Structure 1
Amino acid sequence: MNNLRKHFPLIEQYTYLNTAAAGLLSEAVFDYQQDKNIDFLLQGSLGRDKEANILTEVREKIAYFFSAEASRVALVPNFSFGFNTILEGFSAGTKFLLLENDYPSINLAVETRDFNITYAQIDENLEQNILQKVETEKPEVLALSLVQYLNGIKIDLHFIQELKKKFPELLIIADGTQYLGTEAFNFAASGIDVLGASAYKWLNAGFGNGFFMFTQQAEHKISPKTEGSGSHMGKYKENELHLLGNLEPGHLNFTTMGSIKIALELQENIGLQKLEQHIQMLYAEAKKEFANLGLLEESVLNRKQHSPIFNLKGDKKLFQQLTQKDIICSQRGDGIRVSFHYYNTFKDLEMLVGVLRK
């Protein structure tokens, strides 16, 4: 996978292990954005008119890439904007099940509204914890991250499918920001009703863009009051139940949204199966190395399901040592978070482990 590095100039100078904070911008996406900005600079509205179909193309590319329906793919500036809009479509008193210490953009958005909220604990028994709460508390909505931003714990997606079969009326809303782009994903078969993501992390599409995919069941149950000219303009917005239109009330940035299409095409050209296998081999080896060094918490060690994100036991001094060695990572929670994407190599892991051993 070394030949992939040519697409991402920064990794010629640094050991970049920080995709969980911000995915790298490829030269393909950069060139696309630069070309479109030049077109707007020189052509103004004439240039924009030429891009009239780009939003439809992006919507259809996302639908194809993640096995969703293009008429139920909404383009948004980021996950938080879309999620808050969706929450406005629920009545006061709706019963939500959240995960303790999940990403603030999920929990804070729900907690600041007049909902009835219960929580499941994030540990090695995550799925059993959720099932127990669903059975006893009978929530109407489950909202969660597919991958936990602090320690990389990943929900068992087969569990989500079975949960939906057992409780078909439970509406499942998920944040895929720390997940989409790490492996192949089929939304139609997932059991998830609403899945949103910002595209600047594992999809490497730059900032200011994201999307939501939703099912027909969700479209019937969620009714935000957001409206604008954008709610009724463009292909796929003829539906009377237009959750798509509710999520797109105003103008969207054609350039940033178009970047999603370019980023997905790069992954397609490289080969999705090839990328997934590489990421899986990397994080499997990383987990083994970190476990041998005693750097992982028990809840991570005791799970079969995981992601390319790890939170290592370490203090500010260790973080500074890593930074001095040009290893880019993040301080999160009580440790140091590292993450591995398809442009990382086993050499990157060796560089990190070498510093950790010292």
Structure 2
Amino acid sequence: MKNLRKVFPVLRQYTYLNNASCGLLSEKVFEYRQDHDLDLLISGSMFRDQHGKVLEEVRETVGDFFNCSPNRVGLIHNFSSGFNTLLEGIDKASKILLLKEDYPSIFWAVNSREFEVCYAQIDEDLEQNIKKALSENRPDLFCFSIVQYENGIKLTPAFLKEMKEKFPETLFVADGTQFIGTEKFDFDASKLDVVIASCYKWMNAGYGNAVMLFQEDVPKKIDPKSCGFNSLQGKYKAHEGNFLGKFEPGHQDTLNFGSLMAAIKYINSVGIDLIEERIKLLSKKAKEEFEKLGLLEKMVVKRVQHSSIFNIGGDAELFQFLNGKNIICSLKDSGVRVSFHYFNTEEEIDLLVKVLKEYFKK
């Protein structure tokens, strides 16, 4: 366990329970970034001349990690840019299903356009709510987060695959930002049409890199309008009208995308199966402890499967109290959010519970 923690220097000073907000940068990724900028410093354009090969390797590394052919892997700089480009390629008469109170970057992007929008409620019966909404509304698209950012409610890949098979005409577009990096994910087997995810959280890849994964038939259903010189550059998009290139119109940063590649290589060295096992163990323990303290929403308590993100209620006073104990978390409108990654420990959960008991006894 100590070996898993030592590459994240922040853990030497703090109980870091805030990966759902800002993923930690590992020493391995930092070393890549240092070497990259040193090469740029001393070589200038001679170094940049190699950017095509770097991005090709990144795309192939991402594709291998998620089981998605590299010619269906988009390299973008954040979720919102990719999602908005996708929406611009959708018929304005489309009907879109959303989850009520889902991530604002989904909600706002869809509702700022002229689409007909319908909703499914997020509660303990989320899966049934989605199934009913899909059946009654027959939307053209279903856009959703796999894991909810505020309270960690999670949709399983198995359920989503079942729904896609039951409603094949609906385009399933998933935000995987709070999901990828927490467990093994086989994109092709998932049957999801599109997954878009920023990688600075659970992938621990730093800011400025995100991925888009597409199934083979998606280009027949979406017609993005973006285009630029870089749309034609690279092994997997070197022809006019290339679908992948529509999402990558401008210069791409080898520092940020190379950081993602370095992060994936480190994840592979740890083992995604071990990461998944650790996160599930921590999630189970945390949920049990928070339930005992009566801190969780009723709908979270009732759900069998949950992520490692929890909203434990409270306000700015609790948030400041935890920060004063060197426990790093997030203050949301609905309460204090804590989140656990594979490098966290059972002892850190025990410490958090002890501090919470101290606070509530005041």
Relative to the length of structure 2, the TM-score reads: 0.97
Q: CA deviation at 1:247?
A: 0.4
What is the number of residues matched between the two proteins?
Answer: 358
Range with bigger deviation, 252-261 or 49-58: 49-58
Distance, in Å, in 1 between the alignment partners of 2:95 and 2:310 is 32
Q: Report matched runs for 1:200-215 at 5 Å.
A: 200-215=200-215
Amino acid aligned to 1:109: A
Distance, in Å, in 2 between the alignment partners of 1:96 and 1:155 is 18
Contact 1:59 1:70 in 2 (8 A): yes
> Which residue does the alignment assign to 1:263?
263
Q: Report matched runs for 1:273-284 at 5 Å.
A: 273-284=273-284
> Which residue does the alignment assign to 1:88?
88
Identity of aligned residues (%): 51
Q: CA deviation at 1:115?
A: 0.5
* 1:146-171 deviation digits (Å, cap 9, x = unpaired): 00001000012211111111111110
Aligned-pair Cα RMSD in Å? 1.1
Amino acid aligned to 1:309: I
Contact 1:18 1:330 in 2 (8 A): yes
1:195 match: secondary structure: strand
Contact 1:127 1:156 in 2 (8 A): no
Q: CA deviation at 1:31?
A: 1.1
Range with bigger deviation, 199-208 or 310-319: 310-319
Q: CA deviation at 1:289?
A: 0.3
* 1:137-194 deviation digits (Å, cap 9, x = unpaired): 1100000000000100001221111111111111000000000000000100112100
> Which residue does the alignment assign to 2:245?
245
Distance, in Å, in 1 between the alignment partners of 2:306 and 2:242 is 36
Distance, in Å, in 2 between the alignment partners of 1:255 and 1:344 is 27
Stretches of 4+ moved more than 3 A in 1?
238-241
* 1:186-244 deviation digits (Å, cap 9, x = unpaired): 10011210001001000000001101000122121011111111111111114676221
Amino acid aligned to 2:353: V
Contact 1:315 1:335 in 2 (8 A): yes
* 1:305-349 deviation digits (Å, cap 9, x = unpaired): 210100002122211110000000001122110000011111211
1:255 match: secondary structure: helix
* 1:224-270 deviation digits (Å, cap 9, x = unpaired): 11111111111111467622110011110011101111001111101
Distance, in Å, in 1 between the alignment partners of 2:279 and 2:167 is 33
Q: Report matched runs for 1:221-240 at 5 Å.
A: 221-238=221-238
> Which residue does the alignment assign to 1:187?
187
1:41 match: secondary structure: helix
Distance, in Å, in 2 between the alignment partners of 1:300 and 1:226 is 40
Distance, in Å, in 1 between the alignment partners of 2:215 and 2:239 is 14
Distance, in Å, in 2 between the alignment partners of 1:285 and 1:241 is 50
Distance, in Å, in 1 between the alignment partners of 2:330 and 2:5 is 21
> Is 1:108 aligned to residue 108 of structure 2?
yes
* Alpha-carbon distance change, 163 to 239 in structure 1, aligned in 2, over 3 angstroms: farther
